[in-house]
């Protein structure tokens, strides 16, 4: 801590404007997109806003909303939606509930037993705990299961597949182990859970079990609940396994359109995003006897967890029976929508969302974020009563059905696709929130903007700005995480000198997906995280007792989140010119282009080396004949690809981004003039359009619902982002001709983007003083 504050002091001297937006002489920097007068007024309103959020309210919202299980279709899910609606209305907001009817399977049969070499029946049950009152609400809890697993009844030998990633199956091949006709058991994490049954089925497995390994979120890391925050032996991670990344999220029966009463629905058998094989999640208490009964080769070192058993891969002799069957019912989801109409530009929308449904009581996921959303709405309504008039329309959304797979937000986005494409400027999302450092993700045209907001928020623990804390944490991580000293040094240099911290590109796993990937709306996703371990994710133990003992127990990070998002919403809603900036975007796309070129040359080098080693007989020389392993397959060397169109497009984008930035700076003083007023509508229209230009109506190869050409969830990662996905996945999946075509498509979009930004720059230059 001492060392941190010493660095902070030096930085404050180097960049005086870092401290809460104040310049050295105490005056405040003019906000981007604001005239000096409007900027000053905005800062005053924002300061009033930030004084409102109260940890005691956040605590009370969470206690109320998590008091009973509230999954899709449950009585308390509807009750919560109505309670949220009543509060929006009580605060004077124009609010309503929008209902959709979606496919939501709930289990009616769950059997997992070992038939040989010994008999064992899995409990599949999380026990309630005397100290934790809501953990005992058995009659309302959903059993442990994976939603959108297909019905199935299979008996087969068991194979341990590590995390169940494509590379794990390559390793199994080399060990001479096939999963064809087998049931696989995979560890949770490293990929989104739905990727595990997908890859297993592609390799011929007929069933999939997923367990929570104690090394990842159990006793290896800290005491287990209720002594500590980690997963107890019978704790299970529920969750969706819908194959959303290859198809689309949302209701599987109405892909691409809203699940309204009159929507045409697919027959269940035609729903593409349901798994091909049955899946069931289990605890490590249930997994241990199954894993202990495996023989065959020892699992590779890095596959072994911390159960007190030797980890073998099988197949068998463990023979396992897995049976699951579901009620495939249509259930209602209730999105709660509140509007604050804009006073000058009501047709430009700033949208803010967080889900309210949970797998069980869901205190951390999602109520830690939902509580902040509610407190923001209350604070904004207080400002309205004091005379604040946002320029643009603000829309607050409490989504339902996020957990099964983004049902409420996706159906809303699909239903209102045309108006959203027309009017939505920015979507801001949160989900769970914890203690620690601000994590910023989103569209890179908002990178400069959100860095600016982070410089104005105080960190509750260190009292430095949350921006400084994020920067210094990244510098500390850059010291330890990479083993190449030169790149560590370069990373630290960039963190100190670049000005804006790089924000993360978004993959998926929460409600921004339809807004960003399907509609091309500029998006931010924010959370505080990093200081507390947790092993209660999607279990009955994610509840008020857990959160108030092991996470943001005094709700000061909930308060900081409300201050961060509320400030962002206001600053976006009030700016004369939407505060998009394209210099960071151009810089990021340039970096992606270089990364892709390196990905290709690395692959060429790797395969060339491997083929040479095969010729030399290296694998034969180094393998132990008593533990036979096959040599890897020969690989075709990837061809060269033509990156020139993308490099040229990056140059165009960089030029126009700089031009726009200069034009905006020149006109700053006159943005508030009457002469400018008539020009702002057209200019802001172009800015709203800028994220759409990065999409293509035909979508990505084989997954047309995903239209953004820069960001998408990976088909084989799920949560994890693939940047420039058409090109990157083309190279990774060895479809080189397709990668070449995708480079052309991406380059065209970037050239169009550059032209739009150039036109916006000229629009600015021709207006005002
Ligand atoms: Zn969530």
Cα separation, 258 vs 256, in Å, equals: 7
Inform me whether the pLDDT recorded for 676 exceeds 90: no
Whether the bond between 430 and the residue before it is cis, its omega within 30 degrees of 0, is no
CA of 431 to the centre of ligand 1 (A): 5
Token pair 């009463």 is at which residue? 261
Length of the chain counted residue by residue:
769
The pLDDT score that the predictor gives to residue 769 is 65
Comparing 76-80, 247-251, 542-546, 627-631, which segment has the lowest mean pLDDT?
A: 627-631
Is the CB of residue 374 less than 8 Å from the CB of residue 396?
no
> Percentage of the chain with pLDDT > 70?
95
CA of 240 to the centre of ligand 1 (A): 12
The mean pLDDT of 180-184, rounded to a whole number, is 98
CA atoms within 13 A on the CB side of 366: 27
Q: Which residues pair with 430 in a beta bridge?
A: none
CA of 511 to the centre of ligand 1 (A): 8
CA of 538 to the centre of ligand 1 (A): 9
pLDDT band (50, 70, 90) for residue 78: very high
Cα separation, 569 vs 395, in Å, equals: 10
Distance of CA 149 to the CA centre of its chain: 22
- The SS3 assignment for 186 reads strand
Residue 156 burial by CB count (10 A; 0-12/13-18/19+): exposed, middle or buried? buried
Cα separation, 626 vs 151, in Å, equals: 41
Is the CB of residue 45 less than 8 Å from the CB of residue 377?
no
CA of 258 to the centre of ligand 1 (A): 21
Phi, psi of 132 (to 5 degrees): -115, 95
CA of 525 to the centre of ligand 1 (A): 12
CA of 356 to the centre of ligand 1 (A): 8
Sign of CA dihedral 605, 608, 611, 613: negative
Cα separation, 607 vs 609, in Å, equals: 5
The pLDDT score that the predictor gives to residue 18 is 42
User: What secondary structure letter does DSSP report for 109?
Assistant: E
Q: For strand 207-211 and strand 183-187, is the pairing parallel, antiparallel, or unpaired?
A: parallel
The pLDDT score that the predictor gives to residue 479 is 76
Is the CB of residue 726 less than 8 Å from the CB of residue 746?
yes
Q: Which residues pair with 708 in a beta bridge?
A: 695
Strands (DSSP E) found in 37-176: 94-116, 120-121, 146-147, 152-160
Inform me whether the pLDDT recorded for 8 exceeds 70: no
Tell which residue, 360, 355, 284, 282, has the closest CA to residue 542.
360
Inform me whether the pLDDT recorded for 16 exceeds 80: no
CA of 510 to the centre of ligand 1 (A): 6
Token pair 């909303």 is at which residue? 65
Buried-exposed string 540-563: b where 16+ CB fall within 10 A, e elsewhere: bbbbbbbbbebbbeebbbbbbbbb
CA of 407 to the centre of ligand 1 (A): 12
Task: Report the phi/psi class of residue 443: left, alpha or beta, with left for phi > 0 and alpha for psi in -120 to 50.
Answer: beta
The pLDDT score that the predictor gives to residue 649 is 98
CA of 361 to the centre of ligand 1 (A): 12
Is the CB of residue 690 less than 8 Å from the CB of residue 653?
no
pLDDT band (50, 70, 90) for residue 488: confident
Task: Please list, in sequence order, all residues whose beta carbon lies within 8 angstroms of the beta carbon of residue 189, skipping any fewer than 6 positions away.
Answer: 163, 213, 216, 217
Sign of CA dihedral 618, 620, 626, 629: positive
The mean pLDDT of 686-697, rounded to a whole number, is 98
H helix count then E strand count, the chain: 24, 16
CA of 274 to the centre of ligand 1 (A): 21
Tell which residue, 255, 277, 127, 265, has the closest CA to residue 196.
277
The mean pLDDT of 391-409, rounded to a whole number, is 98
The pLDDT score that the predictor gives to residue 485 is 62
* Distance set, CA 432 to CA 318, 527, 534, 567 (Å): 39, 7, 12, 19
CA of 185 to the centre of ligand 1 (A): 25
Is the CB of residue 174 less than 8 Å from the CB of residue 221?
no
Task: Report the phi/psi class of residue 5: left, alpha or beta, with left for phi > 0 and alpha for psi in -120 to 50.
Answer: alpha
CA of 367 to the centre of ligand 1 (A): 8
Cα separation, 387 vs 53, in Å, equals: 19
CA of 551 to the centre of ligand 1 (A): 16
Cα separation, 630 vs 726, in Å, equals: 32
The mean pLDDT of 567-590, rounded to a whole number, is 98
Structure tokens at 557: 């990070």
The pLDDT score that the predictor gives to residue 6 is 33
CA of 403 to the centre of ligand 1 (A): 6
- Three-class DSSP labels, 407-474: HHHHHHHHHCHHHHHHHEEEEEECCCCCCEEEEEEECHHHHHHHHHHHCCCECCCCCCEHHHHHHHHH
Inform me whether the pLDDT recorded for 564 exceeds 60: yes
Cα separation, 454 vs 474, in Å, equals: 15
> Percentage of the chain with pLDDT > 90?
90
User: What secondary structure letter does DSSP report for 506?
Assistant: P
Task: Report the phi/psi class of residue 530: left, alpha or beta, with left for phi > 0 and alpha for psi in -120 to 50.
Answer: left
Whether the bond between 135 and the residue before it is cis, its omega within 30 degrees of 0, is no
Inform me whether the pLDDT recorded for 131 exceeds 80: yes
CA of 124 to the centre of ligand 1 (A): 23
CA of 365 to the centre of ligand 1 (A): 5
Average pLDDT of every residue of the chain: 94
Cα separation, 331 vs 357, in Å, equals: 13
CA of 404 to the centre of ligand 1 (A): 10
The pLDDT score that the predictor gives to residue 706 is 98
CA atoms within 13 A on the CB side of 543: 22
Cα separation, 617 vs 607, in Å, equals: 15
Inform me whether the pLDDT recorded for 218 exceeds 80: yes
Inform me whether the pLDDT recorded for 549 exceeds 90: yes
Tell which residue, 59, 60, 105, 143, has the closest CA to residue 360.
143
CA of 722 to the centre of ligand 1 (A): 21
* Distance set, CA 176 to CA 146, 179, 557, 627 (Å): 30, 10, 50, 10
Token pair 């050239």 is at which residue? 751
Task: Please list, in sequence order, all residues whose beta carbon lies within 8 angstroms of the beta carbon of residue 678, skipping any fewer than 6 positions away.
Answer: none
Structure tokens at 617: 């007989």
Phi, psi of 472 (to 5 degrees): -70, -35
């Amino acid at each position: 801590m001492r060392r941190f504050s010493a660095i902070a002091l030096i930085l404050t001297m180097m960049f005086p404007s870092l401290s809460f937006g104040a310049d050295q002489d105490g005056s405040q920097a003019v906000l981007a997109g604001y005239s000096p007068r409007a900027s000053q007024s905005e800062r005053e309103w924002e300061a009033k806003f930030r004084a409102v959020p109260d940890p005691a309210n956040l605590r009370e919202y969470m206690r109320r909303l998590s008091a009973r299980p509230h999954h899709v279709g449950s009585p308390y899910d509807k009750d919560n939606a109505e309670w949220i609606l009543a509060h929006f209305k009580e605060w004077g907001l124009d609010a309503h509930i929008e209902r959709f009817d979606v496919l939501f399977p709930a289990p009616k049969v769950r059997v997992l037993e070992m038939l040989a070499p010994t008999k064992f029946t899995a409990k599949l049950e999380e026990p309630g705990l005397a100290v934790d009152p809501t953990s005992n609400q058995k009659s309302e809890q959903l059993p442990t299961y994976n939603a959108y697993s297909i019905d199935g009844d299979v008996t087969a030998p068991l194979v341990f597949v590590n995390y169940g990633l494509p590379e794990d199956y390559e390793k199994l091949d080399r060990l001479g182990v096939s999963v064809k006709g087998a049931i696989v058991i995979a560890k949770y994490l490293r990929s989104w859970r739905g990727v595990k049954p997908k890859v297993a089925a592609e390799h011929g497995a007929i069933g999939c079990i997923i367990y929570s390994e104690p090394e990842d979120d159990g006793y290896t890391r800290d005491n287990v609940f209720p002594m500590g925050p980690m997963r107890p032996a019978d704790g299970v991670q529920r969750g969706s396994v819908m194959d959303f990344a290859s198809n689309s999220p949302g209701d599987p029966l109405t892909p691409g359109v809203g699940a309204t009463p009159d929507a045409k629905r697919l027959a269940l058998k035609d729903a593409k995003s349901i798994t091909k094989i049955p899946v069931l999640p289990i605890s490590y208490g249930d997994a241990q006897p199954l894993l202990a009964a495996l023989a065959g080769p020892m699992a590779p070192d890095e596959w072994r967890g911390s159960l007190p058993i030797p980890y073998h891969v099988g197949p068998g002799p463990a023979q396992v029976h897995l049976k699951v069957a579901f009620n495939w019912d249509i259930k209602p989801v209730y999105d709660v929508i509140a509007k604050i109409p804009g006073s000058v530009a009501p047709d430009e929308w700033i949208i803010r969302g967080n889900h309210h449904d949970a797998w069980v009581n869901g205190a951390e996921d999602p109520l830690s974020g939902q509580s902040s959303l509610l407190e923001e709405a209350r604070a904004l309504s207080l400002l309205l009563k004091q005379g604040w008039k946002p320029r643009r329309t603000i829309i607050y959304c409490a989504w339902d059905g996020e957990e099964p797979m983004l049902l409420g937000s996706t159906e809303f986005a699909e239903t209102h696709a045309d108006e959203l494409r027309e009017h939505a400027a920015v979507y801001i999302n949160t989900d769970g929130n914890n203690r620690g450092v601000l994590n910023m993700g989103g569209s890179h045209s908002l990178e400069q903007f959100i860095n600016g907001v982070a410089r104005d928020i105080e960190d509750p623990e260190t009292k430095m700005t949350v921006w400084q804390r994020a920067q210094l944490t990244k510098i500390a991580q850059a010291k330890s995480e990479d083993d190449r000293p030169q790149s560590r040094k370069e990373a630290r240099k960039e963190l100190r000198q670049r000005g804006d911290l790089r924000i993360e590109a978004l993959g998926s796993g929460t409600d921004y997906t339809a807004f960003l990937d399907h509609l091309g709306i500029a998006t931010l996703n924010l959370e505080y995280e990093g200081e507390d371990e947790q092993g209660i994710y999607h279990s009955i133990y994610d509840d008020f007792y857990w959160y108030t003992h092991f996470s943001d127990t005094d709700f000061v990070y909930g308060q900081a989140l409300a201050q961060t998002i509320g400030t962002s919403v206001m600053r976006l809603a009030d700016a004369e010119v939407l505060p998009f900036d394209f210099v960071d975007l151009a810089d990021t796309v340039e970096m992606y282009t270089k990364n892709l070129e390196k990905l290709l040359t690395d692959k060429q080098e790797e395969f060339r080396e491997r083929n040479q080693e095969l010729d030399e007989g290296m694998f034969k020389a180094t393998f132990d004949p008593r533990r036979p392993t096959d040599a890897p397959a020969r690989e075709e060397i990837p061809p060269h690809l033509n990156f020139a169109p993308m490099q040229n497009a990056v140059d165009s984008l960089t030029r126009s981004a700089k031009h726009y930035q200069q034009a905006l700076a020149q006109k700053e003083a006159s943005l508030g003039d009457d002469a400018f007023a008539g020009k702002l509508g057209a200019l802001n229209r172009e800015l709203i359009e800028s994220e759409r230009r990065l999409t293509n109506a035909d979508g990505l190869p084989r997954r047309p619902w995903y239209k953004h050409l820069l960001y998408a969830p990976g088909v084989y990662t799920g949560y994890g982002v693939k940047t420039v996905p058409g090109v990157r996945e083309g190279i990774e999946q060895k479809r080189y001709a397709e990668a070449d075509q995708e480079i052309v498509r991406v380059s065209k979009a970037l050239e169009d983007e550059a032209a739009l930004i150039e036109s916006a720059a000229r629009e600015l230059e021709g207006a005002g003083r």
